[in-house]
Amino acid sequence: MTDIKQLCEKFYVAGQIKEADLVAAKGLGASLVICNRPDGEDPGQSDVATVSAWAESMGMAFEHISIDSGGPTGEAINATVEAIKSGQTIFAYCRTGTRCSILWSLANASTKTIETLDILAATRAAGYDFDHMAAVLDQLQSS
């Protein structure tokens, strides 16, 4: 079972998942699954079509907001903003949960929903140290 980490009331992140992880996420109230990794990134990872089918069979929506080694794009940040605005409880996954957490951080900073210090505290509590992103988050909040 993958370690599921909570960033806020309606946003959970995890590393690469198995079907049982979706069952656990649904038990936490998740109704939207977001994959933040490209297909074929690692041998043996479940592909997007498989995870999407698992999610749909459990009555959960699925989105693929892929982030590769080039980092998050404006399009990915905007898609994450829209997912958060939907009000659904979200379960996002990537290889380690880091990209999901970065997107959550950037989305909340860009919409000025959560203050930088609170974003950094939430990600730190989940095991992700993004202190190096403080200036970027502050800049997004002031624009």
20-33: per-residue pLDDT in tens?
999 999 999 999 99
User: What was the pLDDT predicted at 38?
Assistant: 93
Whole-number pLDDT of residue 68: 84
Burial of 32 (0-12, 13-18, 19+ CB in 10 A): buried
pTM: 0.95
What pLDDT is attached to residue 43?
A: 87
Domains of the chain and CATH, by start: 5-142 (3.90.190.10)
Low-confidence ranges of the chain (pLDDT < 50): none
